[in-house]
A and B are shown apart, each in its own frame.
Chain A
């Protein structure tokens, strides 16, 4: 039989997390700090709204772009949190999680040979999505000494005459880094000057612990150059509902909607009804969860300090990204040994790009009790390997 598989897909690297997942999954008593989703249940009023939608038989397709009510609430949300005005009729598209928005956002603008600039370490799907869209990914290796923020000179060096778009993943998974307004302004100047676009993945925007999150789309002259991506997974603890959204200039939204219409039809209807309640009545829930994450973040950073483990202070998402270079192991060796010897699972930094070497991602989407137990095991591990 011939080889029927697509060369492009075959050439894609499988996610670095997968291999590790299989090992951890086998170990029954391991404590995992490897999860990239909230530990909270979806707030009850949101689940209740989903149940109510099912009871009333709201089980049909919605319009391709998503429920009008939901798009209007998204517009309100961005107005009240970021001061950006999006037209719910033609600038907002409800998607199946932020992931779909990343995929179709790139596909809507890429021509063969276009370059997509991807700062790493970052979420695992940008590079494959860019490749599948036919683009050439250009990686910027972010630096720990810059707290993994994107610096203007790094961006300038990556731009060529083929550059079409920059992906801006802040607050960042896996590093927890944020970009403050001054950082964004410097980047925005270059984007305008070089006439490129930006895809701002703000899925963790609500989980920011130093001032309020600022969207690059809110800066002068940037709304028309931005594909803003956000969703309900992280802020409202709704990962399994698979619901996100993209906001972009209407010309781009129209093309994205076309792909969405043919590939997906519409985002899950139950989830859309539930999400209306999330945006209307969920501010207090988000604040409660944010406060809780922030306490855990401080707890972890303090514990690392006491152990003498090097870690920059992250101000976003629910990850810390400590440096493990002192142990003379690769990230993968460190994570594997930690799992085998102390039964704690963390994710090697290299799962998020080669420049994640020397770091591991630790999630604090776990209860304090859980974190305490895991941290004492990590401390044992560190003490033992420092002696060697």
Chain B
């Protein structure tokens, strides 16, 4: 049940436990217990909402920043990653294999704020060797959801 439960929640975190119980064909209490376990074990880390900010009047600029760093003795990349992810404007930090080490997603109101973050905060960290900043121009698909998907049922209304 765990895998199926997670698959449903990943698409719709607002669904309540009663409906989950029906869809999964199990008792409500079993759903509640499983949810509690998943939260306790840190498997469910949050119940977020996917927002298409472009459609609001709120300005947001998102940048993906490739960062090359020098790993530190005994700490590897964890320490430097922590120094970066503690900034609230940093939305995601991933350790990456390949041409660079950390991929940082940064969200700000303006391009200038991003520039400032990179030059003042990120580049000045001791272990940071270099950065390359990419701005997101348009989101086509995010978290498995196609943004602006037009859906209409093109099937015939009744078929045998």
Contact = CB atoms under 8 A, between A and B. Distances in A.
B31 to A, nearest CB: 13
Contact of B157 (A25, A291, A295, A351): A25
Interface string A28-41: 00101011110100
A347 B158 CA distance: 8
Contacts of B24: 295, 298
Interface string A115-127: 0000000011100
Contact of B159 (A17, A30, A39, A125): A17
Nearest to B159: A36
B156 interface: yes
B159 A295 contact: no
B88 interface: no
Interface in A320-362: 345, 347, 351
A30 B156 CA distance: 13
Contacts of A173: 160
B160 A123 contact: yes
A299 B157 contact: no
A43 to B, nearest CB: 14
B7 interface: yes
B22 A34 contact: no
Given A295-B23, A295-B24, A302-B22, A351 B155 contact: no
A17 B157 CA distance: 11
A34 B8 contact: no
Contacts of A291: 4, 7
B23 A35 contact: no
A32 B22 contact: no
B146 to A, nearest CB: 11
Most interface-central of B4, B153, B159, B160 (chain A CB within 10 A) = B160
B25 interface: yes
B158 A295 contact: no
Interface string B1-37: 0001001100000000001001111000000000000
A345 B25 CA distance: 27
Nearest to B160: A124
Contacts of A299: 19, 22-23
Given A291-B4, A298-B22, A302-B22, A32 B157 contact: yes
Contacts of B159: 17, 34-37
**Which of B19, B25, B159 has most A Cβ within 10 Å?**
B159
Range of interface residues on chain B? 10 to 19
B25 A298 contact: yes
Nearest to B25: A298
Contacts of A39: 153, 155
- With a 10 A CB-CB cut-off, give which of B4, B158, B159 has the most chain A CB atoms: B158
B23 A351 contact: no
Given A15-B160, A17-B160, A37 B155 contact: yes
A267 interface: no
Contacts of B157: 21, 24-25, 30, 32, 34-35, 345
A273 interface: no
A20 interface: yes
A298 B1 CA distance: 14
A20 B160 CA distance: 11
A21 B156 contact: yes
Interface string B127-158: 00000000000000000000000000101111
A298 B155 CA distance: 24
Given A39-B153, A295-B23, A298-B22, A34 B158 contact: yes
Nearest to A30: B157
Contacts of A25: 157-158
Nearest to A27: B157
A258 B23 CA distance: 47
A174 B4 CA distance: 27
Interface string A121-150: 001110000000000000000000000000
B4 to A, nearest CB: 6
Contact of B8 (A24, A37, A295, A347): A295
A257 to B, nearest CB: 27
B145 to A, nearest CB: 14
B121 to A, nearest CB: 40
A185 B153 CA distance: 41
Given A295-B8, A299-B22, A299-B23, A345 B158 contact: yes
Interface of A: 15, 17, 20-21, 24-25, 30, 32, 34-37, 39, 123-125, 173, 291, 294-295, 298-299, 302, 345, 347, 351
* The 8 residue pairs across chains A and B that have the minimum distance between CB atoms: A34-B158, A295-B23, A32-B157, A21-B158, A36-B159, A302-B22, A24-B157, A124-B160
9 contacts: A21-B156, A21-B158, A25-B158, A34-B158, A36-B159, A39-B155, A123-B160, A291-B4, A345-B158
